Structure 1
Amino acid sequence: MTDISTTSRRNFMKLAATAGGGLVLAFSWTNTLASAVMEVLDDTNLASGKIDFNSYLSISPDDVITIFSPNPELGQNIKTSFPMIVAEELDADWTKVKVVQAPLDTNKFERQVTGGSGAVPHSWERLRKAGATARQMLLEAAAKRWKVSADTLTTENGVVVHKASGRKLTYGELATEASKVPVPTDVKLKDTKDFKLIGKAIRNVDNYEMITGKPLYGLDVYRDGMLYAVIQRPKAFGMKLKSVDAAAAKAIPGVVDVVTFKNNVAVVGTSTWQVNKARKALKIDYEAEAPLESSSDHDRIFKELLSSKEATVRRKDGDVEAAFKKAAKVVTAEYQCPFLSHSPMEPMNFFADVRPDGVELIGPIQTPERARADVAKLLNIAPEKVTLELTRLGGGFGRRLYGDYVLEAAELSSIVKKPIKLVWTREDDMTGGTYRPAVRYRFEAALDAKGNMIGYKLRGAGINSGNPTREDNFPSGAVENLLIDSIEHQSPITTGAWRAPITNFLAFAEQAFLDEVAQAAKKDPVQFRLELLDKAKNAPVGAIKYDIDRMKGVINLAAEKAGWGKKEGVSQGFSVYFSHRSYVAQVADVVMKEGKPAVDRIHAAVDCGIVVNLSGAYQQVRGGVIDGLGHAIYSNLTFKDGAAEQSNFNNYRLIRMKEVPEVDVYFVNNGIDPTGLGEPALPPTGGAVANAIYKATGKRLRNQPFINQPELKTV
């Protein structure tokens, strides 16, 4: 196996600057709107390492441009998009751009986090200024050499050009001289119409390494002398360890130790095969310390929560009770979603080496700073004594926001006094993971005699969900009388963020219910939503925390591109949602095949501001749509006596390749700064599909997964 070694900041700088000199710029990531803080690095401050910066742009004499990328990369494409933004303002030759993954460094970086679709929005302006500042310094260096005004010079593809004389110099040829130019405090950024790289389809910078199997992931990490470990955790949520008989496990060749700590039993040895074999030989007794919940219990709990008077009011506008009393018609419906596993392709794993002089951590984590702080607290040491190197993440979807597996690896290493590679199996991941919470929603709408929605009520009842509503999202602000509240059940089952947290299911429920209301009002579903948005714009009620025009824009674009209401033999369903600062509208086309509804095509209109990398953006949207479709139709995690009943992909259903429909993607070109994209395409999918299936079959789907609903089985 290949060793993934920590690349120190100083070693990186030595490589980037090269022996022949060069221009190395440090730029700040510390303020969303702040200008990049630049500092030229010469031999003196390279040697001292005492430079106040957070990340680097370097131009070496051989024309190589290098960027240290701080955020974890789990497939959202920031490792490609970040350097594209810098290279655009720099007018760089993209073929000569290199990207290096940065280790965790809280002194040099801010927000070394992947989550919430926030990486590009957070870094957009500072990255542009980093590239523009370097470009200006190169222009000044060329102007000084040629004894002309910098205003007479232009740049293109890594070259400074003096058109009047025909002279040209590459960035590499100017790099050393540029390093002596005073750093400009104010630089002009490109007009978006002049972008040459941003908006193009650029392949992922890690493609070659991924395709050829180069070591990029946590599971690739290897250190001489390290041991492998697996952990037997309680097999049910609500149980604790009672006794362990490890004699048979310890007798297996290659097993070094069996360690009991907290509520876990770890087997440590010289290979994953041996430790997994030994784990099966353990004899462990557990006892209950909390109620062992089953899915049948959750059905009862939801009924109690929905009728409870103890709910927390999240938003209240107008006189809701009066509106419902005078309503000509009231529409009521309930929707429910199950627990879901994150199921990333790479199960949880981490490397830890706890030594007297410090702790080395390597692996895939979405929140490295929090993981380091938690390890330092666990071991009672200063965070500065802990280093953390990031590998590429083989998926996460929110699961790797939580560093429980990092803590396990560190604690084990501290106990056995050896470097440890902790590996979870797929079964560990699915039965002991942090799940999407189960939620049930009750909606009520009051209509007047003309079909206008005059009252709206939503209650979210969740199991460990926090607040299962988004009280300020549409249609809030468009209804005079509105009440949104929530109520929770605390369970031993661990839950957490799952791609597009809360909105991943709430969007389906809201959008499917709005279709029911539109039908009761005898209005076209698209027109019904547009009328509500017009009402929110012309006569807003309370706070409006979404952009009405952007939402209307994607609605109109999706309807136009999908040929809404104009297709023969096709049943169409509509959905639109705002999440993570972006707007996505979808139309699902459903056709009947052998008497059953089948999703034939999904049209997605997306307003995420400027698209940095068209290739990555298309895949993010298509991936989100397919993820939303597959989980809405097929995925379900159930419990019996506190234990997950699904443990691997043989009984936890995901969408299959042959079931994936065509997905057409259309981006709104409005020129605003980028907003989120990793998550917003998922939430609208379930609603669009459910609404289309209703059109095709006359059957309303209110519970996920759809495949388990009797409404579909009778078609």
Structure 2
Amino acid sequence: MATLTKTNRRDFLKIAGTTAGGLFIGFNWMSCDSPKMEVLSEEEVLAQAKNFNAYLSIAPSGDIVIYSPNPELGQNIKTSFPMVVAEELDADWERVHVIQANLDQNKFDRQLTGGSGAMPHSWERLRKAGATAKYLLIAAAAKEWGVPASEITASKGFVSHKNSGKEASFGDLAIAASNLEAPEDVPLKNPKDFKIIGTPVKNVDNPAIFTGKPLYGLDFYREGMLHAMIQRPPFGMKIKSIDDSEAKGVAGISDVLQFDNSVAIIGSSTWPLMKAKKLLKVEYEPDGLVESSADHDRLFKEMLASNNAEERRRDGNVEQAFSTAAQVVTAEYQCPFLSHSPMEPMNFFAHVKENSAELVGPTQTPDRAASTAAEVLGIPKENITVEITRLGGGFGRRLRADYVEEAVKVSQMMKAPVKVTWSREDDITGGAYRPAVRYRFEAALDANGNMVGYKLKGAGINAGNSTRQNNFPSGAVDNVLIESIDHKSPITTNPWRAPITNFLAYAEQSFLDEVALAAQRDPVEFRLSLLERAKANPVGGELGYDADRMIGVIKTAAEKSNWGKDSNVSQGFSVYFSHRTYVAQVADIEMENGSPVLKKITAATDCGMVINPTGANHQVRGGIVDGMGHAMYGNLTFENGLPTQKNFDKYRLIRMKEVPQIDVHYVDSGFDPTGLGEPALPPTGGAVANAIYKATKRRLRRQPFIEQEEFSDLNLEIKRA
């Protein structure tokens, strides 16, 4: 697999077409529909490129180039997309090149990375692009050789005719194929014939990453550009006074500017900027609400007691179910704010000119970056270009454009190209956190231990709707009431990997274990019985999930983990559906010297067809480590509008030595591929918490686990197997 790191569109066309021209197929990459593919000459591509979203090209040299629009932040989309095209094309994978697309507002209708939606959105489109190219190559060979196209086969970049012994490379046929008309419909492969899809393929950017070639926003450099770092205010405060005398005295500092409610320090490189920022003296005063963590604890109590919550779902007669219940189980679960903390802190380059702007950097939403710049500058959006670098992580943080806006404003003020870089302290204290939420659950049981009533009330701080009212166990219980209430806070929040479900799954799955215990039933059997109820006669009509697929991952996880078969191992179970994917997990804990030690997590995943087992395993394992680490350690508290934790000395992340054995299994449900960047994270906290309860008989109802008072006498550990 060859990877081209140039991102300039003309460079792409030059490589793709070569001097002799070639085959270009324009197709709408992100649309759900499948329009007719069109064959274009190189001149037509240059003249009419705005009418198309993406291109598959085949050069006379035999090289195949795919222009990839979605930002790559580690979800491996830059590898899996071309695998799908190459599969249907029957290409030689070693001759495939991938180029990261820049923002093109006319061609791409979903040029973003978020919600684990890229592959399910593009699956059919990518297949048809490859299949159409193969159809044209075979048609060109049939015409040249005077044989029926049905007798010609394609394999690894060549087409051949068995009876005559004739063979030609894709490159040999590219020019002839470019003169043929693309069909309306083309046959797609039977999945049983796949040769590339389903095989382990390494990340196409690996060679550049391993050799330190510039791929990321932090790598970007432009001769003559200025560097800037920003001092931002505490949440709910405004600038009262500024003393920049000492900061300006640092060698390499050229200016200190105030804009909006922030202060920009301008200089020649980031090191003097960091030194000067520490010497900058800014005094703040309240500008509305200034909140601390103590305020949030009070707010949660008030919201859960409030009658002003918004009703999200109501099935049956909830009041009667609870008033006549043989037993009622009640519990509350709470999670803190969390920082996204990607490995690469926020950074962006902007060069604002008289009536245009050039933007370069890591963004999950390049169109939002352009829109933000256009609004700030008061110029047409089409006058703004956005070059997308590889992202050193995002987890939802780079869905926002606040750091882009800073670069644009500073460049406008300085009338020069500027790169804004955040320090790690800026990144953790700069806002856009995972919302803090508290849930109250109630379950009504009849005399036989059946759950006949279920209530969930979510209270969030800048969380919006903190529930997922159509997810399990909705549809499996006759009487259901789900409500949410939200507090608007000056502390900014943002989608955080698997938004809302990242904590809701832990709380819900832990509570279902509490209910199973009260009903004296096995946790796995209890969930399966609910799902059979939902499958046979779902309450409230159509389900928001597929009961059969959830049953499939539950049974697989139980089987692969030897659920309940080893009396020396305490096991915790959890299952969740999010982003179209189903994941069940079992955590194994053993007691050592009186302390619970997490030894292994077994995961069963139904994400439809697995495109690339290597990338899929990375996503599942990464999601589990992320979910486990933040449930165990992550915490962000506030004092007078400022986070108490400012760097990794106090904001605790999981360490490599703490990652246990993770066994990954997949359920082949026969469905098309679904999302995988986020769904493995939500079930993890519940599996671990339920296993800890099984081992210690102590229930974890707050995150992070290590800070719970109930465990002050125990040493919670994670060990590598």
TM above 0.5: yes
1:13 paired residue number: 13
1:472 paired residue number: 470
1:534 paired residue number: 532
- Mapped partners of 1:167, 1:257: distance in 2: 70
Q: Amino acid of the residue matched to residue 632 of structure 1? A: A
Q: Amino acid of the residue matched to residue 451 of structure 1? A: G
2:307 paired residue number: 309
8 Å contact kept, 1:39–1:53: no
1:295 paired residue number: 293
Q: Give 1:55 shift.
A: 0.4
Q: Give 1:224 shift.
A: 1.0
User: What per-residue deviation string (whole Å, max 9, x for no partner) do you get for residues 503-545 of structure 1?
Assistant: 0000000000000000111111000001101111222210311
Q: Does structure 1 residue 377 correspond to structure 2 residue 393?
A: no
Q: Does structure 1 residue 23 correspond to structure 2 residue 23?
A: yes
Question: Bigger CA drift: 245-254 or 431-440?
Answer: 245-254
- Mapped partners of 2:115, 2:5: distance in 1: 29
1:122 paired residue number: 121
Q: Give 1:21 shift.
A: 2.3
Alignment of 1:668-687 (within 5 A): 668-687=667-686
Q: Does structure 1 residue 63 correspond to structure 2 residue 62?
A: yes
Q: Give 1:580 shift.
A: 0.3
Q: Give 1:30 shift.
A: 4.6
* Structure 1 SS opposite 2:398: helix
* Structure 2 SS opposite 1:599: strand
1:326 paired residue number: 324
- Mapped partners of 1:281, 1:294: distance in 2: 26
2:223 paired residue number: 224
Question: Bigger CA drift: 51-60 or 470-479?
Answer: 51-60
- Mapped partners of 1:590, 1:166: distance in 2: 62
TM-score, normalized by length of structure 2?
0.97
* Structure 2 SS opposite 1:494: coil
- Mapped partners of 1:7, 1:457: distance in 2: 52
2:552 paired residue number: 553
Alignment of 1:259-278 (within 5 A): 259-278=257-276
- Mapped partners of 1:76, 1:340: distance in 2: 21
**How big is the alpha-carbon RMSD for the aligned residues of Structure 1 and Structure 2?**
1.3
- Mapped partners of 1:174, 1:240: distance in 2: 66
2:337 paired residue number: 339
Question: Bigger CA drift: 504-513 or 664-673?
Answer: 664-673
8 Å contact kept, 2:24–2:39: yes
Q: Amino acid of the residue matched to residue 441 of structure 2? A: F
8 Å contact kept, 1:353–1:420: yes
Q: Amino acid of the residue matched to residue 209 of structure 2? A: M
- Out of 489, 493, 496, the position equivalent to 1:495 is 493
- Aligned sequence identity (%): 63
Q: Amino acid of the residue matched to residue 294 of structure 1? A: S
2:423 paired residue number: 425
Greater than 6 Å deviation, 4+ residue runs: none
User: Structure 1: 5+ residue runs without aligned partners?
Assistant: none
- Mapped partners of 2:337, 2:189: distance in 1: 47
2:575 paired residue number: 576
- Mapped partners of 1:395, 1:387: distance in 2: 22
User: What per-residue deviation string (whole Å, max 9, x for no partner) do you get for residues 331-376 of structure 1?
Assistant: 0001000110000000000000001142000000001101101110
In the superposition, relative to structure 1, how do residues 679 and 50 fare at CA in structure 2: closer, same or farther (>3 Å)?
closer
User: What per-residue deviation string (whole Å, max 9, x for no partner) do you get for residues 422-457 of structure 1?
Assistant: 000000000112110111101000000000111111
* Structure 2 SS opposite 1:253: coil
Q: Give 1:6 shift.
A: 7.5
Q: Does structure 1 residue 285 correspond to structure 2 residue 316?
A: no
1:148 paired residue number: 147
Q: Amino acid of the residue matched to residue 81 of structure 1? A: S
* Structure 2 SS opposite 1:704: coil
Alignment of 1:565-644 (within 5 A): 565-644=564-643
Q: Amino acid of the residue matched to residue 631 of structure 2? A: A
In the superposition, relative to structure 1, how do residues 30 and 207 fare at CA in structure 2: closer, same or farther (>3 Å)?
closer
8 Å contact kept, 2:24–2:42: no
Q: Give 1:33 shift.
A: 3.1
Q: Give 1:670 shift.
A: 2.0
Q: Does structure 1 residue 666 correspond to structure 2 residue 657?
A: no
Q: Give 1:485 shift.
A: 0.3
1:251 paired residue number: 249
2:161 paired residue number: 162
Alignment of 1:88-107 (within 5 A): 88-107=87-106
2:718 paired residue number: none
User: What per-residue deviation string (whole Å, max 9, x for no partner) do you get for residues 646-682 of structure 1?
Assistant: 0111111111111101111111112211111000000
Q: Give 1:12 shift.
A: 1.6
TM-score, normalized by length of structure 1?
0.98
What is the number of equivalent residue pairs in this alignment? 710
Q: Does structure 1 residue 45 correspond to structure 2 residue 55?
A: no
2:138 paired residue number: 139
- Mapped partners of 1:50, 1:541: distance in 2: 50
Q: Give 1:241 shift.
A: 0.9
* Structure 2 SS opposite 1:112: coil
8 Å contact kept, 1:255–1:270: yes
- Mapped partners of 1:43, 1:198: distance in 2: 30
- Mapped partners of 1:664, 1:587: distance in 2: 10
- Mapped partners of 1:495, 1:664: distance in 2: 33
User: Structure 2: 5+ residue runs without aligned partners?
Assistant: 715-721
User: What per-residue deviation string (whole Å, max 9, x for no partner) do you get for residues 581-640 of structure 1?
Assistant: 000000111111221111100010000001111100000000000100000011111111
* Structure 2 SS opposite 1:40: strand
Question: Bigger CA drift: 80-89 or 162-171?
Answer: 162-171
Q: Amino acid of the residue matched to residue 17 of structure 2? A: A
- Mapped partners of 1:497, 1:328: distance in 2: 40
8 Å contact kept, 2:6–2:99: no
1:212 paired residue number: 211
- Mapped partners of 1:7, 1:212: distance in 2: 19
* Structure 2 SS opposite 1:155: strand
Q: Give 1:29 shift.
A: 2.0
8 Å contact kept, 1:239–1:289: yes
- Mapped partners of 1:592, 1:165: distance in 2: 71
- Mapped partners of 2:533, 2:141: distance in 1: 58
Q: Give 1:641 shift.
A: 1.3
Q: Give 1:23 shift.
A: 1.2
8 Å contact kept, 2:50–2:107: no
- Mapped partners of 2:326, 2:7: distance in 1: 69
* Structure 1 SS opposite 2:390: coil
- Out of 506, 509, 515, the position equivalent to 1:517 is 515
8 Å contact kept, 1:635–1:705: yes
Q: Amino acid of the residue matched to residue 176 of structure 1? A: I
- Mapped partners of 1:252, 1:714: distance in 2: 49
Q: Does structure 1 residue 81 correspond to structure 2 residue 80?
A: yes
- Mapped partners of 1:532, 1:539: distance in 2: 11
8 Å contact kept, 2:549–2:669: no
- Mapped partners of 2:391, 2:500: distance in 1: 23
- Mapped partners of 2:589, 2:47: distance in 1: 65
Q: Give 1:5 shift.
A: 9.8
- Mapped partners of 1:109, 1:494: distance in 2: 29
8 Å contact kept, 2:7–2:99: no
- Mapped partners of 2:164, 2:668: distance in 1: 38
8 Å contact kept, 1:6–1:389: no
